[in-house]
């Protein structure tokens, strides 16, 4: 009796484990399908962000779609602390031509672009131009340390949670938005500006204000 009963118990035990495995697999299938759907999106975003370490041509423009920033549309407002602790609100720059530049301390092209922005700020600031540089997801102390080493004539703003970057649907850095005096977006530039290209774009908007 014992020898006949034991194989039956083993068979039933194996069958129970198989049933439990099948139930668990069915429960995990929706999660696995979601993983399969999300993985290409996550990979694309990672490549886009990392691409900004190399060349400007690898930086994609901000994402499009409902609610995304677009030329002719109002720029999303924000209030951020600068590296020196001052609160900077975009609304306070109404009436000026504004360059809103997204950058990061780890981004080589961003750091190369900052002197070009600084030069244009010094040249055209008296005519009604203002540059604002929003850091992309560095810790605040990293931005403060960077600002102490690299002196520029415009605010370096802290956005370590990426709230402002999300509002602008940012996919890579450096990315810049040129705003007119009404706070509307007039240009979106993916990749670093040169001093010549930025000055020409700003002058065009300033000349339009004077006419």
Please tell me the predicted confidence (pLDDT) of residue 211. Answer: 54
Q: What is the pLDDT of residues 75-134, one digit of tens each?
A: 999 999 999 999 999 999 999 999 999 999 999 999 999 999 999 999 999 999 999 999
Q: Whole-model pTM?
A: 0.73
- The length of the chain is 211
Please tell me the predicted confidence (pLDDT) of residue 189. Answer: 97
d(CA 52, CA 173): 6
**Beta-carbon neighbour count of residue 62 at 10 Å?**
19
Please tell me the predicted confidence (pLDDT) of residue 26. Answer: 54
Give the C-alpha distances (Å, rounded to integers) separating 145 from 23, 32, 83, 140, 184.
Answer: 54, 43, 8, 9, 32
| Ramachandran sector of residue 26 (left: φ over 0; alpha: ψ -120 to 50; beta: rest) | alpha
The rounded average pLDDT for each run of 10 residues, N- to C-terminus, in the chain (211 residues) is: 46 52 51 43 40 51 88 97 97 98 97 98 98 96 96 96 96 97 97 98 90 54
d(CA 150, CA 140): 15
d(CA 84, CA 80): 11
What the chain holds in terms of domains, given with CATH numbers, is: 56-210 (3.40.30.10)
Please tell me the predicted confidence (pLDDT) of residue 208. Answer: 85
Q: Which residues of 6-19 are buried (b: 16+ CB within 10 A; e: fewer)?
A: eeeeeeeeeeeeee
Cβ–Cβ < 8 Å for 98, 134: no
């Amino acid at each position: 009796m014992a020898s006949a009963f034991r194989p039956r118990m083993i068979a039933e035990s194996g069958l129970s484990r198989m049933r439990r495995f099948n139930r668990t697999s069915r429960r995990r299938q929706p999660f696995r399908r979601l993983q399969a759907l999300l993985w290409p999106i996550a990979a694309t975003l990672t490549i886009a962000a990392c691409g900004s370490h190399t060349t400007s041509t690898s930086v994609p423009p901000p994402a499009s779609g409902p609610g995304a920033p677009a030329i002719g549309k109002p720029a999303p407002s924000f209030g951020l602390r600068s590296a020196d602790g001052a609160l900077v609100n975009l609304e306070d720059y109404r009436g000026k031509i504004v360059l809103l530049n997204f950058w990061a301390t780890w981004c080589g092209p961003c750091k190369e672009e900052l002197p070009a922005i600084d030069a244009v700020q010094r040249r055209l600031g008296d005519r009604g131009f203002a540059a604002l540089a929003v850091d992309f997801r560095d810790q605040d102390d990293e931005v403060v340390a960077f600002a102490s080493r690299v002196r520029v004539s415009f605010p370096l703003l802290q956005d370590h949670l990426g709230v402002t970057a999300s509002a602008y649907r940012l996919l890579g850095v450096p990315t810049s938005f040129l705003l007119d005096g009404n706070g509307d977006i007039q240009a979106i530039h993916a990749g670093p500006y040169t001093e010549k290209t930025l000055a020409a774009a700003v002058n065009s908007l300033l000349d339009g204000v004077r006419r």
